[in-house]
Copies of this chain bind each other. A is one copy, B any other.
Amino acid sequence: MADPIEFHFDFISPYALPGLVAMERVAEKHGRTIEMHPMMLGIAVVKAMGLPPLLDTPLKGDYLLMDVPRAYRFHGVPFRPAVPKFMTSPLIPARLFCWMLSIDRPRAQQAARAMLAAHWSEGSDVSKLENAVPHAVAAGFDEAEARAAPDDPAVKDMLKEAATRSVERGIFGSPTFFIDGEQFWGSDRTHIIDRWLETGGW
């Protein structure tokens, strides 16, 4: 059984969902599974790299606002973001995801994917607890526990630790993929990963 493809993402990243959808197609083609991992752009980009948030970066911010909808159309993913200009806090869905991961990975991934799709394709702001929790419940988690998880100091620590670990591994962008230890950054590189899997690398 081949190792899963690692998919590292921040819920706040507009490129996470199209990257995931594109990678699902590539993974299926090669009989691989996807292992989702939380990372935090706020820690990687702003703290570790010392850079401003992308949307606040001159030139790149404007490009992003144009490029993101085009990327969704390219990958055939509906683009209906919950928040204009994409700005929202990823803390609630990211902590919820960490908490669910500590219980059951397959169901946690199901809920995380549903939250990404809800936020970016269905206009439902999952940075709000009341919009995030139903996806955990739909994946079989307890509603009261899910509601409490994002405020639990132990859960907060899980996310902090995950973010720190990802920086230690050199992850700075969302999405980032690892294929058998090889790192690829960017939602538009899945065709390269496809060839990597096909050829065994180069």
Which residues on A are within 8 Å of B, measured CB to CB?
44, 48-52, 57-60, 62-63, 66-67, 70, 73-74, 167, 170-172, 183, 185-186, 188-189, 191-192, 195, 202
Interface centre among A50, A59, A66, A73 (most CB of B within 10 A): A59
Write the chain B residue with the least CB distance to A167: B59
Given contacts A44-B59, A167-B59, A188-B192, contact A202 B74 (CB under 8 A): yes
Given contacts A58-B49, A185-B63, contact A74 B192 (CB under 8 A): yes
Given contacts A58-B48, A170-B63, A202-B74, contact A189 B192 (CB under 8 A): no
- Determine the distance from Cα of A120 to Cα of B117 in the docked complex, in whole angstroms: 42
Provide 21 A-B residue pairs closer than 8 Å at the C-beta atoms, listed in order of the A residue: A48-B59, A49-B57, A49-B58, A49-B59, A50-B57, A51-B57, A58-B172, A59-B167, A59-B170, A63-B170, A63-B172, A63-B183, A66-B183, A70-B202, A74-B192, A74-B195, A74-B202, A188-B188, A188-B189, A188-B192, A191-B191
Given contacts A70-B202, A170-B63, A192-B188, contact A50 B44 (CB under 8 A): no
Specify how many copies of this chain sit in the oligomer. 2
* B70-A60 in contact (CB<8A): no
Residues of B within 8 A of A186 (CB): 188
Task: Report A21 CB to chain B, min CB distance, Å.
Answer: 15
- Determine the distance from Cα of A73 to Cα of B199 in the docked complex, in whole angstroms: 13
Residues of B within 8 A of A63 (CB): 170, 172, 183, 185
Partner of A50, one of B58, B73, B195: B58
Residues of B within 8 A of A73 (CB): 202
Residues of B within 8 A of A202 (CB): 70, 73-74
- Determine the distance from Cα of A153 to Cα of B58 in the docked complex, in whole angstroms: 29
Known: A48-B59, A50-B52, A51-B57. 13 other contacts (CB 8 A): A49-B57, A49-B59, A58-B172, A59-B170, A62-B170, A63-B170, A63-B172, A67-B185, A74-B192, A74-B202, A186-B188, A188-B189, A188-B192
